[in-house]
Amino acid sequence: MTDHPVLIAGGGIGGLATALTLHQIGVPCVVFEAVREMRPLGVGINLQPNAVRELYDLGIGAEALDRIGVPAKEWALVGLNGREIYAEPRGLDAGYHWPQYAVHRGQFHMALYRQVIERIGPQAIRLGCRVTGYRKNSDGSVSALIEHADGTTSDARGSLLVAADGIHSAIRAQMHPNQPPIHWGGALMWRGTTWAKPIRTGSSFIGLGTHRHRMVIYPISHPDPVTGLALINWIAEVTLDSAEGWQQTGWFRQVPTADFAHHFADWKWDWLDVPALIAGADGAFENPMIDRDPVPSWADGPVALLGDAAHAMYPTGSNGASQAIVDARVLGAAMLQHGVTPAALAAYDAKLCGPISAVVLRNRGAGPFGLLAMVDERCGGRFENIDEVIPAQERAAFMAGYKAAAGFAVEQLNKAPATIPKGARVAKS
Ligand SMILES: Cc1cc2nc3c(=O)[nH]c(=O)nc-3n(C[C@H](O)[C@H](O)[C@H](O)COP(=O)(O)OP(=O)(O)OC[C@H]3O[C@@H](n4cnc5c(N)ncnc54)[C@H](O)[C@@H]3O)c2cc1C
């Protein structure tokens, strides 16, 4: 190991989870984040039990997560006729040793940020520092090339460089100069939040409609004890036939709900009123459902990709943020075994790149929402008795296959030893 700290490009969920993990195992690190000010951006995300386990091991427990989200109790798919296709318990109710949390992305991100400042210190995060590339040095160290908010540039030298700079990663572009442009399959999403009464179990994740025209709805707060209202996260999705357009509409553009509410105008049942839910929001964020084709490797000597920079994926499996956290922990475990060395990055790459790249492609094929596609193909989304469309056994087998591939099969996770044993520290060389 060189005497330099580990450099982390990007202070999103993956970058901050990496910083907290490295600090826990005694490895100095510095995060370079492009934005000048951290703000609580985004709406709902899910933290799967495999990621919640890692957060608990990082000392971010139920008390902290309950302030910014709510444990999920159920995952359900509902057809265009408002009838249930499939439902299963989630988190503790499903037998996991750890809950699944639905949280506000921005508040979760800020909670991680505060933890980094408290545990490592404010010098651990350099804001207004965009990493534009890297240089491998002859002494085995690596330099991150940095562009500051005022336009000036500088280099920072590190023992290793972890690229957690998101889907538009500059480091990935340098590592894989021939990677194809961002992939867009034609789906547009509008995301918003509305204060409303939670439905079904009170903490249910609901996928409603078909794979080309659907709503995803779940609460991201406990209900207010007086009003009974919770903050409900919703994602309205429509797949267009055109393969063009997302570049023109931009990424995470704020739009009025009238832009898309007409797609869901008649989605009303006695248990759910989608037009009212959409109308109750102040506005929505429009963004295209995009990902990237997998690359054959996430490591180049002293540099490794992590989080969306490694595996930007469709949100159909609700596992983008969870996987970024797991990446950070697997990287930490590799350093415990191999030291702060390129060999640790190679071990991390060998363990995750293949299987998680397969999850990226699986999510493209609708991920767990694939059941909605099957119902759509077989009966146009409308049915009397779901068992006549897809037998219960076939539905259960489909879901079990997805969970095993994404790393949150219940028995597999419960019996897996801690990724980072309690108190483990990287040996000083
Ligand atoms: C503003 C924002 C809002 C989001 N909202 C949602 C949401 O509502 N729902 C959802 O499912 N997912 C959302 N996501 C994506 C989700 O957070 C990620 O898919 C997931 O958490 C993986 O995290 P990540 O750390 O790999 O990437 P990200 O969370 O995207 O973080 C990447 C970080 O790197 C920084 N960065 C980018 N380029 C550079 C660079 N060259 N140098 C230095 N820093 C750089 C970015 O500012 C960002 O802080 C959002 C992401 C962002 C950035």
Strand residues in 282-322 grouped as ranges (E) = 284-291, 299-300, 303-305
Q: Write down the pLDDT at residue 212.
A: 86
Going by pLDDT thresholds of 50, 70 and 90, the confidence category of residue 206 is very high
Q: Write down the pLDDT at residue 403.
A: 73
Query: Average of pLDDT values for 9-18?
Result: 98
Q: Are 340 and 160 in contact (CB under 8 A)?
A: yes
Residue 402 has pLDDT above 80, yes or no: no
Residue 408 has pLDDT above 70, yes or no: no
C-alpha 12 – ligand 1 centre gap (Å): 5
C-alpha 190 – ligand 1 centre gap (Å): 17
Distance of CA 271 to the CA centre of its chain: 29
Which residue bears the tokens 């520092």?
129
Q: Write down the pLDDT at residue 381.
A: 79
Going by pLDDT thresholds of 50, 70 and 90, the confidence category of residue 186 is confident
Q: Each residue of 218-233: pLDDT tens digit?
A: 999 999 999 999 999 9
Which atom from ligand 1 is nearest to the alpha carbon of 167? 30
Residue 395 has pLDDT above 60, yes or no: yes
Residue 319 has pLDDT above 90, yes or no: no
Q: How many other C-beta atoms lie within 10 A of the C-beta of residue 247?
A: 11
Q: Write down the pLDDT at residue 407.
A: 63
Q: Write down the pLDDT at residue 363.
A: 81
Q: Each residue of 128-155: pLDDT tens digit?
A: 999 999 999 999 999 999 999 999 999 9
127 Cβ below 6 A of ligand 1: no
Q: Each residue of 330-383: pLDDT tens digit?
A: 999 999 999 999 999 999 999 999 999 998 998 887 677 888 888 888 988 788
Query: Average of pLDDT values for 4-31?
Result: 98
Query: Average of pLDDT values for 63-71?
Result: 96
C-alpha 166 – ligand 1 centre gap (Å): 5
The whole-model pTM stands at 0.94
Which residue puts its alpha carbon closest to atom 29 of ligand 1?
12
Q: How far apart are the first and last CA of the chain?
A: 7
Phi-psi region of 83 (alpha: psi -120 to 50; beta: other; left: phi over 0): beta
Which atom from ligand 1 is nearest to the alpha carbon of 129? 43
317 Cβ below 6 A of ligand 1: no
DSSP state of 386: H
Q: Each residue of 246-296: pLDDT tens digit?
A: 555 556 788 999 999 999 999 999 999 999 999 999 889 998 888 999 999
Is residue 380 classed as helix, strand or coil in its secondary structure? coil
Residue 291 vs residue 302, higher pLDDT: 302
Which residue puts its alpha carbon closest to atom 4 of ligand 1?
42
Strand partners for 144 = 134, 156
Mean of all residue pLDDT scores within the chain: 92
Q: How far apart are CA 392 and CA 231, in angstroms?
A: 32
Residue 392 has pLDDT above 80, yes or no: yes
Q: Each residue of 81-116: pLDDT tens digit?
A: 899 999 999 999 999 999 999 999 999 999 999 999
